[in-house]
Amino acid sequence: MISLEFNFNILTRDLSHYLENQVKVGLFGSGVGLSLVLGFSAAYTCYYLISVAKKPQLISGGKKFYQFLREQCPVVSETYYPTFWCWESRIQTLLRPFVTAKPGVVYRNELIKAADGGQISLDWFDNDDSVSHPDPCSRPTVLLLPGLTGTSRESYILHMVQQSRDLGYRCVVFNNRGVCGETLLTPRTYCAANTEDLEAVLEHIQRTNEAAPIMAAGVSMGGMMLANYLGRKGRETCLKGVVVFSAGWDVFECTASLEKPLDRFLFNSYLTSCLQASVHRHRPVLEKCYDIDHVMKAKTIREFDERFTSIMFGYPTNDDYYHDASPVHRLKSVQVPMLCLNAADDVFSPSHAIPVEAVKQNPNLALLITCHGGHIGFLEGLWPRQSTYMDRVFKQFAKAVIEQGSRLQDLS
């Protein structure tokens, strides 16, 4: 014991001597500087643990769905610890594409015909090495819908494919028209309000694998499209369950939030340029019906929608389109179990527009709200390369729907 105490005293003395000679802060000597560093670190840690790391809020319109989630998806009850050096909303949103790994996925591409003569690009991950579901005829299928300008190559999509592969499931990514390199055959792209292409895709998937259960996950605009589809179809769908991430529930509030100066600079202008780039790639077929020069002068998403999207889909005004595209108006009609994950600090979907009261009125709906996470961020861990909170929610809910789905057949 004496030897250990002696060695510890020597180590403490040597460490203090090293810090006094090596740490130069220039403020009344290194001792004060070290004290400031330690004090700031302690204060930051306390602030993080008290104000940043919190359990999410789980809201459901029915006790049965609520209990199901608590039992089958423990992640909904766990404290969410955002990455301590980048928990702020905008930083999470901006960094996710750069810090998260992109798992290697080899897709099988399929082009299917749409009713108007156009084509839709599907990227399949068949998972033929599945141990838990070796029969391809009955292997569960997960349909994935990316965000506004996203494709099957987005990191958040690749992570969900990886999670599905681990579970033994098949995945298929529904790429919106014209975004994934395929030729646009007709002067039509996509929007959050129109679900005709989604319906065609689901019919095709069901015909291809009639014995396989199907669930779906949508991210951002993909989630909005899914919610609008479920609101229109009620029980007339092959989907066993749906999970939606970072959806914008009221498009008027979403666009207003993104038009604030900082968010317009960080996000709005960039997304507008991405939409315009897609239009430019398909200019030869689109310019026959639309004033592309006028579209290319748009500075915001709202201006782009006024000049292009709302016109393409036949709305009298852009306000009419935004009302129709807002899933909040259709939540009461959803008849399939749907879990929705939103961050309260998401500038794309502001917290005051998250439909808490609407969810409480429908036993088929559940809403999971984290204090932090940004838009499709949800980074966690010291260096969030492999998995995010959103990935864990997806994996647990997908497994619960596929393997315990019989418990969700009557949630009323």
Q: Is 245 helix (H, G, I), strand (E, B) or coil?
A: strand
Share of the chain above pLDDT 70, in %: 92
Nearest to 296 by CA among 277, 312, 314, 270: 277
Backbone φ and ψ of 188, nearest 5°: -145, 135
Tell me the pLDDT tens digit for each residue of 166-225: 999 999 999 999 999 899 999 999 999 999 999 999 999 999 999 999 999 999 999 999
Nearest to 380 by CA among 1, 86, 73: 86
Residue 257 has pLDDT above 60, yes or no: yes
Backbone φ and ψ of 270, nearest 5°: -65, -45
Instruction: Specify the residue for token string 């014991």.
Output: 1
Residue 11 has pLDDT above 80, yes or no: no
Q: What angle do CA 144, 146, 147 make, to 5 degrees?
A: 150
Residue 283 has pLDDT above 90, yes or no: yes
Q: DSSP readout, 348-391?
A: SS-GGGS-HHHHHT-TTEEEEEESS-TTTT--BSSS-SS--HHH
Residue 34's pLDDT is 76
Residue 15 has pLDDT above 50, yes or no: no
Q: Is there a contact between 185 and 119 (Cβ–Cβ < 8 Å)? A: yes
Residue 85 has pLDDT above 70, yes or no: yes
> What is 56-249+330-407's CATH topology?
Rossmann fold (3.40.50)
Nearest to 223 by CA among 154, 278, 144, 162: 144
Instruction: Specify the residue for token string 């794309």.
Output: 348
Backbone φ and ψ of 367, nearest 5°: -125, 125
Give CATH 3.40.50.1820 domain extents, the chain: 56-249+330-407
Task: List the catalytic residues.
Answer: 220, 346, 375
Average pLDDT rounded to a whole number, residues 250-279: 97
Tell me the pLDDT tens digit for each residue of 373-384: 999 999 998 888
Considering the chain, what is the average pLDDT of its residues? 91
Residue 19 has pLDDT above 50, yes or no: no
Q: What angle do CA 23, 28, 33 make, to 5 degrees?
A: 40
Q: DSSP readout, 33-59?
A: HHHHHHHHHHHHHHHIIIIISBPPEEE
Tell me the pLDDT tens digit for each residue of 27-49: 444 566 777 878 777 887 887 88
Q: What angle do CA 401, 403, 404 make, to 5 degrees?
A: 65
Exposure letters 10-44 (e unless 16+ CB within 10 A, then b): eeeeeeeeeeeeeeeeeeeebeebeeeeeeeeeee
Average pLDDT rounded to a whole number, residues 306-330: 98
Residue 225's pLDDT is 98
Average pLDDT rounded to a whole number, residues 315-340: 98
Tell me the pLDDT tens digit for each residue of 110-142: 999 999 999 999 999 999 999 999 999 999 999
Name the burial class of residue 161, with classes exposed (0-12), middle (13-18) and buried (19+) by CB atoms within 10 angstroms of its CB: buried
